[in-house]
Amino acid sequence: MPQEVGGALHPSFRIRQQFRESLRINRGIGKAEADARAIELLEGAGIPEPQAALKRYPHEFSGGQLQRIAIALALAPRPDLLVLDEPTTALDVTTQRIVVEALRKLATEEHVAVLFISHDIALLGEYADELVVMYAGEIVEHGPVASVLSRPRHPYTRALVDAVPSPGRTELPASIPGLPPGRVVEGECAFAPRCSYAAPRCVEEKPALRTVGVDHSARCCRVSELTLDAATELGESVARAPGDVILTARDVVVEYNAGNRSRVRAVDKVSLTLRKGNLTAVVGESGSGKSSLGHVIAGLQRPSSGSIEFDGAELPEDPMRRSKLQRRRIQLVFQSTSGSLNPRRSVGDHLHHVAGCFLEPARRQAAVEEVLESVQLSSHLLNRYPNELSGGQKQRVAIASAFLADPAVVVCDEITSGQDVSVQAAILETLARMQATHDTAVLLISHDLGVVRAIADDVYVMRGGSVVEQGRTDDLFASPQHDYTRNLMAAAPQALDAAGAFPSVAP
């Protein structure tokens, strides 16, 4: 099952046709038997009204439902092994738990072995039996999930665990310096250039995979002499005192045409306040309206009603009528860098284009060099194109271009979604550093409660287009008042506790 359900489900065929085709080719089963098998699996996957679902097309289902249908379709021919490539990437915590619970139920009932490829260590800690950690094309650690996560024996595994954000911790997670080689490294340890435990022999010999416990092995020259404790140099808590109000949204409503002359209300009378030097997070399930709200503030979407006051003046209802200064001072970082980086422009061309739009000619070159240094990217990347950068590098270029305009407000729409934990930690460090330097108000739209806990000052919880709870981050996480907020927190993978351990897999 591929990462994108678009690679597993044909958009032009009804669900029934796709089950029938798979079962006819793989099992030689007729239509009636195929339909019965499809209904059985869809019901097991928690799809409402499975018989009616067979008549629908993929676009008529939510993202979480599509993932469950794709899993059911993969299981239909009764395979012995199911390979899942990042099946929960970009899903909100509630949908993620539903999908994984459905997967576990179906795999158990069908007696199928599952290979779950994922960068979500917290999720794997709850659901996997064995864990294989790979780096530079090689297995660096392998063993029972409780053993590997509770007592990692390879420095890379330890670093990954330290980089996991958790609702139970208030500090920024620790990132891993440098970049992976992207290839198999011969004659030396591939992780040595990034390893804080590296010794001279680590670059002189290729370590073998060594047994370190019952069914537990690790590829490290120093595995017998190292004790890999949790990181002690985590970032400090980012909680800040409330700054002056820079932006206030009042009773914002966003509606979309839904065909047949009907309209769907995505945002329903939402009010929100952003303060200088503070980071405000908006969390909620997919479809809760959080991105629509962010797009209204950034000027990509016209509100159906309501008002936005920015720096003491009300913004025009039509975003096209905002002044050049207002557009410069409110910036947006997209979830996907494909929405913010032109593939035909080098990094340097992109940053100079942004500087040319907003800065005086005399300031442009110095500003580009300064912002590139601020996001910790080398100047040699200026000549590279987006396809030559890693995911984390592209996201940091996008953050750099937003802050290059010297904004008062930056809207970040799911900027860590789909990134592995080490890259995610580096992005969060970059965002926190840039915000502190520029005293900027940041609106972070996210479904990752661990990320929000680590970096946000205030939190708004949205459901069905409305804010159901808001408050200071520490207070809200310590004592959520709304049932929906409590359900979101319960659905989040229970990752690291304050001591850096995985309580869900404690031996």
Which CATH superfamily groups domain 5-118? P-loop containing nucleotide triphosphate hydrolases (3.40.50.300)
Distance of CA 260 to the CA centre of its chain: 35
Give the pLDDT score at 495. Answer: 54
pTM, two decimals, is 0.80
- Going from the C-alpha of 219 to that of each of 120, 183, 188, 210, 232, the distances in angstroms are 22, 16, 11, 6, 24
Contacts of 246 (CB under 8 A, 6+ apart): 274, 275, 276, 310, 311, 408, 409, 441
> What is the C-alpha separation between 65 and 286, in angstroms, rounded?
12
Q: Residue 488 carries which side chain, given as an amino acid letter?
A: L
**Lookup: tokens for 324:** 């050049």
Phi and psi dihedrals of 355, rounded to 5?
Answer: -60, -40
> What is the C-alpha separation between 89 and 396, in angstroms, rounded?
20
Helix (H) or strand (E) holding 290: helix 290-298
* Residue 195 DSSP class: -
CB atoms within 10 A of CB 242: 13
Please say whether the beta carbons of 440 and 410 come within 8 A.
yes
Contacts of 291 (CB under 8 A, 6+ apart): 413, 414, 445
Helix (H) or strand (E) holding 161: helix 155-162
Nearest of 231, 111, 145, 73 to residue 493 by alpha carbon: 145
| CATH class of the structural domain 245-490 | alpha beta
> What is the C-alpha separation between 227 and 197, in angstroms, rounded?
10
Tell me the pLDDT of the chain (507 aa) as tens digits: 887 776 789 999 999 999 999 999 999 999 999 999 999 999 988 888 999 999 999 888 877 788 889 989 999 999 999 999 888 876 778 888 888 888 888 889 889 999 999 988 888 988 899 999 999 999 999 999 999 999 999 999 999 998 888 776 667 888 888 878 878 999 999 999 999 999 999 999 999 999 999 999 999 999 998 888 765 554 555 556 778 999 999 999 999 886 667 788 999 999 999 999 999 999 998 778 998 999 999 999 999 999 999 999 999 999 999 999 999 999 999 877 766 789 999 999 999 999 999 888 999 999 998 888 888 788 888 999 998 887 778 888 999 999 998 899 999 998 887 778 888 888 888 888 888 888 999 999 998 888 899 899 999 999 999 999 999 999 999 999 999 999 988 888 765 554 445 554 444
Give the pLDDT score at 497. Answer: 54
Please say whether the beta carbons of 400 and 371 come within 8 A.
yes
> What is the C-alpha separation between 193 and 176, in angstroms, rounded?
11
Please compute Rg for the chain using Cα positions.
24
Starting at the edge strand found earlier in the chain, the sheet holding 263-275 runs 263-275, 245-257, 305-310, 313-314
Give the pLDDT score at 8. Answer: 82
Give the pLDDT score at 260. Answer: 67
Instruction: Characterize the bridge pairing of strands 409-413 and 458-463.
Output: unpaired
**Lookup: tokens for 209:** 């995979």
Residues forming CATH 3.40.50.300 domain(s) in the chain: 5-118, 245-490
Give the pLDDT score at 507. Answer: 41
- Going from the C-alpha of 48 to that of each of 15, 63, 503, the distances in angstroms are 14, 14, 34
